[in-house]
C-alpha cells in the first residue's frame, strides 16, 4: 500500500482554518504534523538503494514510536531513472527531498511495510493484534452495526445484527465513536435519524436531528484512462518483464524472496511519482481556470434540491480551491498514472429510500458536474502527452512512446473534453467528505472536535470528516485524524 501525505490542508494553505474562521481547534499542517508522526514510524531506505537512486529522507517529518511502520522495498528497477529526468525537464516541477514534507512535486514515497517482518503494516496487525489481552477492548468481527441509538438527541449506544439474524444492543457510558468510513458512516447516521429530512422522510425514517450535510459533499480522487507506453524502458535492464524472459534473473529474485523477502518481488510499484500542482500541469491556463471557478454560478452544479447550507459550503470550498489552483504547493494531479487529486464536483451517499436497512446506500459521484473539473482533466491529459513526447522519454530507445488512449485522432480541447467522460473512473478508492468537519451553516456534519452537530455523545473519526480531499493518498491522513481525535476525545471525556 503506497503512502503519501500531501497534507489535509497543504503546508502553505490551511483550508480548514479558512472554512472555520473562529478556529477553535487547530487542524492546520503544523498542528497535524505531531499526529502524522505519532501515527507512523519511518525506516529510511537501505543505504545502497538510497545512494543508487538519490533517495533522501528527513526524519523530522516522521515518527519513531508508532506501531504502524513505513519503509521502502529493498529493490527498485533502473527504468525509474529516465522518468525522474523527464519530470525535471518540465517547467514548475520540483524534486522534493522528503515525501512527508507536505509539498507538491516529485518524490520518493514510502510503502506501508514493516521493514523487519517485511509484511504490510496496518491498523489490524499493528494496533488491534497488540492489544488482544486488554479487558476493556472487545472487537466483534463480521458484525454489522444497524444504527446508533438515540434517546432524544443523545447517543446512548448502538444496535447491531447478531449471527442468528436478530438485533442486539450495546449501551455506552461515555460516547459513541463512529468510524464506518465515508460510505457507511453517512448511511448509519441517516438510519439513526440524523441527516437531511427530505432523504429521511423518503425512506420512512423519523428525523431526530435535521442535519442536511450528512451524506453530501461526497468526494473521491478520479482516474482518467490516458495510456502511453514507453517501449524504450524495456530496453533498460533489469526490468519487470525480465522476470518472465530471463531465467537467471528470475532465479535470483526468487532466491532473495525465499531467503529474506527482499529483491524485485518486494516491489508493488516503483516508489517514485509526481504529485503536481496545477501551476505545473498548465502554466498557461491555471490562472484562467481559477478565475472561472471563482466567478461561476456554483449552485448550478449541485443537484436542484440541495439544501442551502450545503450549497453555501460548496461555494466556500470552491473559493478556497481557486486559491489553491494558483499555488505551486497544492497537489492537483498524480503522475505517472493520471489521477485528479482535487475534485471540483460533489456527489452524495444516501440511504436507499426503497430499502433503507436492507440495501447498500446509493452512491452518486456526480463526476464532471462542475465544468472546471472537465477542463482540468483535459489539461492533465495534455501534460501527460508533454511528459512522454516533449521530454527525453520521446527519444528513449529505438521506438517512440505509443499512445493508445485517447489516441492520435483526439487532438483539440473540444475533442479531449468529449473523450473525458468516456475514460473516467470516478474512484481511486479514496472516498471522503460525507460527514464534513465544517460549520453547520456551511453544511458541516461535525464540529472541530468531531462531534456530530445537534447530537450529544457522538463523534465521527474516519475519512468522511475531511471537508476536502487531501492532495495525497488518504490512509495516512486518516491515521493522523484518528490520533488527534483520540487526544480530543480523552481530553473531553
Ligand X SMILES: Cc1cc2nc3c(=O)[nH]c(=O)nc-3n(C[C@H](O)[C@H](O)[C@H](O)COP(=O)(O)OP(=O)(O)OC[C@H]3O[C@@H](n4cnc5c(N)ncnc54)[C@H](O)[C@@H]3O)c2cc1C
402 beta partners: 229
Binding to ligand X by residue 170, rule CB under 6 A?
no
Quick one: which of 8, 19, 93, 145 contacts ligand X (CB under 6 A)? 145
Shortest distance in whole angstroms from residue 187 CB to ligand X: 7
Out of 1, 299, 362, 488, name the contact with ligand X by CB under 6 A: 1
Please state, in angstroms and rounded to a whole number, the distance separating the CA atoms of residues 437 and 453.
10
DSSP 186-230: HHHHHHTTEE-HHHHHHHTPPPSEE-TTTT-SBB--EEE--EEE-
Q: Of residues 49, 180, 202, 394, which one binds ligand X by CB under 6 A?
A: 180
Nearer to ligand X, 144 or 247 (CB): 144
- The nearer residue to ligand X, 327 or 473, going by C-beta atoms, is 473
Angle between helices 286-295 and 308-325 (to 10 degrees): 160
* Residues flagged as binding site for FAD: 145
| 458 sits near ligand X (criterion: CB under 6 A) | no
What distance in Å separates the CA atoms of residue 188 and residue 194, rounded to the nearest whole number? 9
Q: Does 463 bind ligand X (CB under 6 A)?
A: yes
Instruction: Pick one of 84, 95, 179, 299: the residue that binds ligand X (CB under 6 A).
Output: 179
User: Known binding site: residues?
Assistant: 145
- The two counts, helices (H) then strands (E), for the chain are 15, 21
The interface region with ligand X, picked from 175-183, 214-222, 291-299, 334-342 by CB under 6 A, is 175-183
For ligand X, the closer of residues 252 and 269 by Cβ is 269
Task: Quickly tell me which residue has 514507453 as its cell.
Answer: 230
Question: Quick check: 429 binds ligand X (CB under 6 A)?
Answer: yes
Q: Which residue has the cell 478520479?
A: 222
Closer CB to ligand X, 3 or 224, in the complex: 3
Rg (alpha carbons) of the chain, rounded to whole number? 24
Among 181, 328, 353, 397, binds ligand X (CB under 6 A): 181
d(CA 332, CA 328): 10
Using CB under 6 A, pick the residue from 190, 271, 327, 474 that binds ligand X: 474
| Residue numbers 337-376 binding ligand X by CB under 6 A | none
Q: Exposed, middle or buried, 259 (CB in 10 Å: 0-12/13-18/19+)? A: exposed
Looking up cell 520518493 gives 108
The Cα–Cα gap between 306 and 229 comes to 43
Nearest distance from residue 147's CB to ligand X, in Å? 9
Cis check: omega of the bond before 306, within 30 degrees of 0: no
Residues constituting the chain: 493
Distance CA 466, CA 455 (A): 19
Number of residues near ligand X (by CB under 6 A)? 20
Q: State the nearest-atom distance from the C-beta of 90 to ligand X, in Å.
A: 25
For ligand X, the binding residue among 59, 124, 128, 144 (CB under 6 A) is 144
Cis peptide before 225 (omega within 30 of 0): no
Considering the complex, state which of residue 98 and residue 379 has its C-beta at the smaller distance from ligand X.
98
Least gap, CB of 148 to ligand X (angstroms): 10
Q: With binding defined as CB under 6 A, does residue 475 bind ligand X?
A: yes
For residues 405 and 337, give the distance between their C-alpha atoms in angstroms, rounded to a whole number.
12
- Would you say the C-alpha torsion 390, 339, 273, 433 has a positive or negative sign? positive
Cβ distance to ligand X smaller for residue 11 or 482 = 482
* Strand partners for 334: 275, 339
Contacting ligand X (CB under 6 A), which of 473, 480, 483, 484? 473
221 binds ligand X (CB under 6 A): no
Out of 14, 175, 462, 483, name the contact with ligand X by CB under 6 A. 462
From the list 40-48, 180-188, 218-226, 438-446, the region that binds ligand X by CB under 6 A is 180-188
By CB under 6 A, is residue 236 in contact with ligand X? no
147 binds ligand X (CB under 6 A): no
Nearest approach, Cβ of residue 161 and ligand X (Å): 8
Cβ 127 to ligand X, closest distance in Å?
A: 12
State the sign of the Cα–Cα–Cα–Cα dihedral 347, 353, 355, 357: positive
Minimal distance, residue 122 CB to ligand X, in Å: 9
CA dist 256 and 467 (Å) reads 45
Q: Does 219 bind ligand X (CB under 6 A)?
A: no
Residue 71 sits in the site that holds ligand X (CB under 6 A): no
| Nearest distance in Å: CB 403, ligand X | 27
Q: Is 387 helix (H, G, I), strand (E, B) or coil?
A: helix
Cβ proximity to ligand X: between 182 and 310 the closer is: 182
Of 179-187, 205-213, 368-376, 439-447, the segment contacting ligand X by CB under 6 A is: 179-187
* By the rule CB under 6 A, 167 interacts with ligand X: no
The answer for residues whose C-beta is within 8 angstroms of residue 179's C-beta and 6 or more apart is 185, 460, 461, 462, 482
CA nearest to 111, candidates 47, 68, 81, 58: 68
Toward ligand X, which CB reaches closer, 66 or 476?
A: 476
| Residue 418 phi, psi (nearest 5) | -75, -30
Cell of 7: 497534507
Measured over all CA atoms, what is the biggest interatomic distance in the chain, rounded to whole angstroms?
73
Interface with ligand X by CB under 6 A: which residues? 1-3, 144-145, 179-182, 184, 188, 429-430, 462-463, 473-476, 478
Amino acid at each position: 500500500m503506497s503512502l503519501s501525505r500531501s497534507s489535509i490542508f497543504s503546508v502553505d494553505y490551511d483550508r480548514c482554518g479558512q472554512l472555520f474562521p473562529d478556529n477553535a481547534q487547530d487542524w492546520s499542517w503544523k498542528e497535524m504534523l505531531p499526529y502524522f508522526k505519532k501515527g507512523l514510524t519511518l525506516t529510511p531506505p537501505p543505504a545502497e538503494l538510497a545512494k543508487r537512486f538519490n533517495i533522501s529522507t528527513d526524519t523530522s517529518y516522521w515518527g519513531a514510536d508508532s506501531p504502524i511502520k513505513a519503509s521502502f522495498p529493498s529493490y527498485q528497477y533502473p527504468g525509474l531513472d529516465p522518468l525522474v529526468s523527464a519530470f525535471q525537464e518540465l517547467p514548475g516541477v520540483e524534486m522534493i527531498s522528503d515525501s512527508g514534507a507536505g509539498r507538491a512535486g516529485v518524490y520518493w514515497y514510502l510503502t506501508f511495510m514493516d521493514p523487519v517482518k517485511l509484511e504490510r503494516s496496518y491498523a489490524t496487525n499493528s494496533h488491534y493484534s497488540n492489544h488482544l489481552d486488554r479487558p476493556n477492548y472487545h472487537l466483534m468481527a463480521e458484525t454489522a452495526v444497524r444504527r446508533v441509538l438515540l434517546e432524544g438527541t443523545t447517543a446512548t449506544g448502538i444496535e447491531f445484527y447478531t449471527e442468528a439474524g436478530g438485533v442486539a444492543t450495546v449501551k455506552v457510558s461515555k460516547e459513541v465513536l463512529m468510524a464506518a468510513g465515508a460510505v457507511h458512516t453517512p448511511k448509519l447516521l441517516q438510519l439513526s435519524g440524523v441527516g437531511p429530512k427530505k432523504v429521511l422522510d423518503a425512506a420512512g425514517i423519523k428525523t431526530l436531528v435535521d442535519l442536511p450535510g450528512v451524506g453530501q459533499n461526497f468526494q473521491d480522487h478520479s482516474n482518467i484512462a490516458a495510456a502511453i507506453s514507453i517501449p524504450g524502458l524495456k530496453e533498460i535492464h533489469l526490468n519487470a518483464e525480465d522476470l518472465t524472459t530471463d531465467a537467471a534473473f528470475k532465479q535470483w529474485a526468487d532466491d532473495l524472496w525465499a531467503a529474506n523477502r527482499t529483491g524485485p518481488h518486494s516491489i508493488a510499484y516503483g516508489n517514485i511519482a509526481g504529485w503536481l500542482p496545477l501551476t505545473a500541469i498548465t502554466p498557461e491556463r491555471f490562472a484562467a481556470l481559477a478565475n472561472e471557478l471563482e466567478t461561476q454560478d456554483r449552485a448550478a452544479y449541485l443537484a436542484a434540491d440541495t439544501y442551502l447550507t450545503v450549497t453555501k459550503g460548496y461555494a466556500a470550498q470552491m473559493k478556497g480551491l481557486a486559491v489553491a489552483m494558483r499555488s505551486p504547493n497544492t497537489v492537483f494531479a498524480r503522475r505517472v498514472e493520471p489521477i485528479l487529486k482535487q475534485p471540483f464536483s460533489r456527489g452524495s451517499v444516501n440511504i436507499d429510500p426503497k430499502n433503507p436497512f436492507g440495501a447498500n446506500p446509493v452512491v452518486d459521484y456526480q463526476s464532471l458536474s462542475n465544468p472546471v473539473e472537465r477542463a482540468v482533466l483535459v489539461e492533465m491529459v495534455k501534460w501527460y502527452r508533454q511528459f512522454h513526447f516533449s521530454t527525453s522519454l520521446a527519444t528513449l530507445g529505438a521506438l517512440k512512446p505509443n499512445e493508445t488512449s485517447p489516441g492520435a485522432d483526439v487532438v483539440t480541447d473540444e475533442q479531449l473534453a468529449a473523450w473525458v467522460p468516456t475514460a473516467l473512473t470516478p474512484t481511486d478508492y479514496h472516498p471522503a467528505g460525507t460527514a464534513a468537519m465544517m460549520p453547520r451553516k456551511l453544511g458541516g456534519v461535525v464540529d472541530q472536535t468531531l462531534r456530530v452537530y445537534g447530537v450529544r455523545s457522538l463523534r465521527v473519526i474516519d475519512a468522511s470528516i475531511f471537508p476536502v480531499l487531501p492532495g495525497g493518498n488518504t490512509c495516512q491522513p486518516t491515521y493522523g485524524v484518528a490520533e488527534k481525535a483520540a487526544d480530543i476525545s480523552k481530553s473531553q471525556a
